[in-house]
Amino acid sequence: MSAGERGHGASTSATSGASTSATSGVSTSATSGVSTSSTNGISTRSTRGLLALITLLGGHGLSLLGNVITVIVVPLYVLHDTGSVLATGVAGVFATVPVIVGGALGGVLVDRIGFRAAAIVADLASGATILLIPVLAATTGLPFPVLLTLVFLSGLLDTPGNTAKSALVPDLAEGAGLSVARATGIHSAVSRSAAMIGASVAAVCVVWLGPLNALVIDAATFAVSALVLWVGVPRHADARPGPDGDGAPITSSNLADPSATRPAESTTRHAYWTDLAAGVRFLYHRPLLRNLVLMIVVTNCFDAAGITVLMPAYASTVGADGAIFGVMVAVFSGGALAGAGLFTWLGQRWPRRPVLVVSFLLAGAPPYLAMAAAVPVPVLLAVLAVAGLAAGSINPLITTVLYERVPRQLRARVLGAMTTGVSLGLPLGSLGAGLAVTAAGLVPVLLAVGVVYALVTLAPLTGGSWRNLEPGSLDLSREAHRD
């Protein structure tokens, strides 16, 4: 063999050897090893994040299930005990005013003490307050003013808890590797499921146990929710943003490391009212969010009238115990569950403005008009199912818009301000419905609510800032720095 052949052979063996041993070795050992360990680490963190999100949603569903029982039981109890539609409306006022106060003041507290801690404390306090109602009724008695006080306190404590749970969703969704739109769709589906189950349980309890005894179940759901959140949501979910928003969100990379989300210490502490004003100012300076608040104020006014006065009054005309009220809410919630699931599956592909208008239009007016027309109960239930199906898209759509636009350091404050804003119409709706039905009768009020509701829900068709509902319609990063 010549030298040239030996050289060529060396080249072949060396180069090919490097290719098959060194390069392939790296590929099969080093590269694959890094890929496998890294992938497994990410998979483990994502699984942990998913479990935390599931736990949060489970606690949210349990507490909401109990809330729905209260929403159905208290108006029926007041209407049965007093025989007064006006008194039922007054009870509705005491149930809805705390939403305004708790939303305004609670959002700042949630930001300060942490999302997880606020949710747990609020559930425990609300459960204890609700439990006092059947306990007092069975022992010393339950005068109407005492009932109103307990209903007020329960709502006052419950609203910050709901704000805290909602504020946790984007962080835990990111840690689980889910998009915010999908997570909000799942959150809404859980809410609708809880409403459907809670309404069904309430209907059964009203017949079998009596209205007030059903509140024991409500109190138990709050206790279990607090326990679930304490066990399953990581403690560092309480990481609070500093005054300048330096708290890091929870992601799949820091979920296992609490120190990663701990904000730096700051010597500056914002005044309570300054923090509250920051949330209100954020909403006010964003025309789309401001218009959403204004429209929902009006629709919530009608919704409060319906759920606290008009539907219970209608149910009492169908049956003496009013149990059909629970069935109506359950059917609506079942439709809404299907709608939320449909939005989770396909909603990211749909244009938002048409979906919002059609959903509001079908969800709002038809049930009131059907009750006014005295259609047979099976027909009314079918109308409620369709209305619920349409309503299922509304909350996840609006929540997605909010999460896209609100920075984490302001999230609880803005959500609290938003809750306060959209709740301003609730007590007016309850009291106004009680007065209107007392003065004019049930059917004319149902007709008026149905017609005006339909007109209000056409507002997004007017254009202007409503066009910014679409995700690519404005520069969100630039808007996030506005005062």
Cβ pair 289, 418 in contact under 8 A: yes
What pLDDT does 386 receive? Answer: 95
What pLDDT does 309 receive? Answer: 92
Q: What's the predicted TM-score (pTM) here?
A: 0.67
Q: What is the C-alpha to C-alpha distance for residues 167 and 414, in angstroms, rounded to an integer?
A: 10
Q: What is the C-alpha to C-alpha distance for residues 30 and 371, in angstroms, rounded to an integer?
A: 70
pLDDT band, residue 472 (cuts 50/70/90): low
pLDDT band, residue 265 (cuts 50/70/90): very low
Cβ pair 156, 254 in contact under 8 A: no
> Distances in Å between the alpha carbon of 205 and those of 69, 323, 374?
9, 9, 26
DSSP string, 119-135: HHHHHHHHHHHHHHHHH
Paired tokens of 201: 């349980």
pLDDT at 264 over 60: no
Taking only the tens place, the pLDDT of each residue in 2-19 is 333 334 333 333 333 333
If you average pLDDT over residues 307-316, what whole number do you get?
Answer: 91
Taking only the tens place, the pLDDT of each residue in 29-50 is 444 444 444 444 445 557 777 8
In the block, tokens 């052979």 appear at 9
Question: Domain spanning 46-262+270-479: which CATH class is it, in words?
Answer: mainly alpha
Taking only the tens place, the pLDDT of each residue in 380-395 is 999 999 999 999 888 8
Q: Which of 32-36, 136-140, 295-299, 349-353 has the lowest mean pLDDT?
A: 32-36
Cβ pair 134, 148 in contact under 8 A: no
Taking only the tens place, the pLDDT of each residue in 328-338 is 988 998 898 88
Q: Which residue has the higher pLDDT, 362 or 426?
A: 362
- Residues with Cβ within 8 Å of 472's Cβ and at least 6 positions away in sequence, in order, are none
Beta strands in 319-446 (DSSP E): none
> Distances in Å between the alpha carbon of 28 and those of 36, 39, 206?
11, 15, 67
pLDDT at 415 over 60: yes
pLDDT at 378 over 90: yes
In the block, tokens 């079918």 appear at 382
pLDDT band, residue 345 (cuts 50/70/90): confident
What pLDDT does 26 receive? Answer: 36
Q: What is the C-alpha to C-alpha distance for residues 159 and 173, in angstroms, rounded to an integer?
A: 22
DSSP string, 217-241: HHHHHHHHHHHHHHHHS-GGGGPPP
Determine the angle formed by the axes of helices 377-391 and 324-346, rounding to 10 degrees: 30
Q: What is the C-alpha to C-alpha distance for residues 263 and 247, in angstroms, rounded to an integer?
A: 4
pLDDT band, residue 477 (cuts 50/70/90): very low
Q: What is the C-alpha to C-alpha distance for residues 294 and 297, in angstroms, rounded to an integer?
A: 5
> Distances in Å between the alpha carbon of 249 and those of 171, 240, 245, 276, 414?
6, 10, 10, 21, 17
Q: What is the C-alpha to C-alpha distance for residues 169 and 181, in angstroms, rounded to an integer?
A: 11
pLDDT band, residue 366 (cuts 50/70/90): very high
**Of 75, 63, 65, whose CA–CA distance to 304 is shortest?**
75
pLDDT band, residue 20 (cuts 50/70/90): very low
Paired tokens of 42: 């990410």
Taking only the tens place, the pLDDT of each residue in 421-456 is 777 788 889 999 999 999 999 999 999 999 999 999
DSSP string, 85-104: HHHHHHHHHHHHHHHHHHHH
Paired tokens of 431: 């009291």
- Residues with Cβ within 8 Å of 416's Cβ and at least 6 positions away in sequence, in order, are 103, 104, 105, 106, 107, 108, 110, 160, 163, 276, 279
pLDDT band, residue 239 (cuts 50/70/90): low
**Of 163, 169, 167, whose CA–CA distance to 105 is shortest?**
163
Paired tokens of 272: 């309570």
Taking only the tens place, the pLDDT of each residue in 97-107 is 887 777 667 76
Q: What is the C-alpha to C-alpha distance for residues 110 and 306, in angstroms, rounded to an integer?
A: 30
If you average pLDDT over residues 289-303, what whole number do you get?
Answer: 88
